[in-house]
């Protein structure tokens, strides 16, 4: 005895437009989960690497030695290492090309680190705005499929003399599946976007705090060197 409506039969018997809506929602769901898995790993690694580098930075290691160690690697620098490398490289270059070391230590390296910070945050944000888009449009795409399916069911219902619930139930059920699939695609995307946005804000604040602290260190070193040069002169 048939127990009722079959989920997969409803999808297969749905109109072509509703099936396209469902296929679109499945594709959006797959894309959002791919972004969620990839970004979760990337953001966790970025935060862990930042903490490790900061511990190394504040361990008392010579900054020139730390910079040379980073430059000696074949792997491209990322995150806090990239910010440090950009600032120190600009600081070393400025010392060789400018007589006003103190002023350069404030402007040049700080601008270089600000650019590096923006680039690193932009890398971490890759795909995250798309989650917000998927979370916003998926329910409406599903609702469109639902409206179209119900409209089609009632049009078909109007063409018969004696209407029964059994005749209209499959059409309404297949239409409601589109709404369910829209929510299925939207809810994880919205939750992940909110979590990633919070984590990105935390990482960006972490980077920015390091940048300001490192800029202060470079400024103090520049002033010290400038005082020494005046004394020796």
Handedness of CA 176, 180, 183, 185 (dihedral sign): negative
Cβ contacts of residue 138 below 8 Å, gap of 6+? 25, 28, 29, 182, 183, 185, 186, 189
Q: Considering only the C-alpha atoms of the chain, give the largest distance between any 2 of them, rounded to a whole number of Å.
A: 107
pTM listed for this prediction: 0.81
CB 21 within 8 A of CB 178: yes
pLDDT higher than threshold 50 for residue 1? no
Q: What is the average pLDDT across 206-222?
A: 88
Q: Which of 9-13, 145-149, 224-228 has the lowest mean pLDDT?
A: 224-228
Residue 204 to residue 119: CA distance in whole angstroms: 11
Angle subtended at Cα 159 by Cα 154 and Cα 162, rounded to the nearest 5 degrees: 90
SS3 51: helix
The CA distance from 223 to 201, in Å, is 33
**Tens-digit pLDDT profile for residues 9-63:** 666 767 788 889 889 999 999 999 999 999 999 999 999 999 999 999 998 888 8
pLDDT for res 172 = 76
Asked if residue 185 has pLDDT above 60, the reply is yes
Over residues 168-181, mean pLDDT:
79
In the chain, where are the structural domains located?
7-232
Count of C-beta atoms within a 10 Å radius of residue 55:
9
Query: Helix 165-232 vs helix 101-124: angle between axes, to the nearest 10 degrees?
Result: 160
Q: pLDDT band for position 173 (50/70/90)? A: confident
Q: What's the rounded Cα separation, in Å, for the pair 153 and 149?
A: 6
Residues 117 and 105: their CA atoms lie apart, in Å, by 17
- Does residue 228 register a pLDDT over 70? no
C-alpha–C-alpha distance, residues 219 and 102, integer Å: 6
Q: What is the mean pLDDT of residues 176-193?
A: 92
Instruction: Give the model's pLDDT for residue 23.
Output: 92
**Per-residue confidence at 100, pLDDT binned at 50, 70, 90?**
low
pLDDT of residue 106 exceeding 90: no
């Amino acid at each position: 005895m048939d127990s009722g409506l079959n989920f997969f039969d409803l999808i297969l018997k749905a109109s072509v437009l509703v099936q396209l809506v469902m296929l679109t929602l499945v594709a959006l769901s797959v894309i959002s989960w791919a972004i969620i898995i990839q970004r979760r790993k990337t953001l966790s690694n970025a935060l862990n690497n930042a903490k490790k580098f900061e511990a190394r930075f504040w361990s008392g290691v010579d900054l020139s030695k730390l910079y040379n160690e980073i430059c000696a690697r074949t792997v491209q620098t990322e995150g806090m290492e990239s910010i440090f490398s950009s600032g120190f490289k600009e600081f070393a270059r400025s010392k060789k090309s400018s007589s006003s070391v103190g002023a350069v230590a404030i402007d040049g390296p700080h601008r270089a680190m600000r650019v590096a910070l923006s680039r690193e945050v932009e890398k971490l944000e890759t795909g995250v705005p798309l989650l917000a888009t998927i979370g916003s449009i998926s329910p409406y795409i599903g609702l469109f499929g639902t409206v179209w399916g119900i409209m089609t069911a009632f049009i078909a219902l109007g063409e018969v003399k004696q209407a029964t619930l059994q005749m209209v139930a499959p059409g309404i059920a297949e239409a409601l599946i589109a709404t369910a699939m829209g929510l299925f695609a939207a809810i994880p995307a919205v939750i992940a976007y909110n979590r990633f946005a919070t984590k990105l804000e935390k990482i960006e604040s972490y980077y920015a705090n390091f940048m300001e602290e490192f800029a202060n260190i470079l400024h103090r070193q520049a002033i010290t060197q400038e005082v020494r040069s005046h004394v020796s002169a």
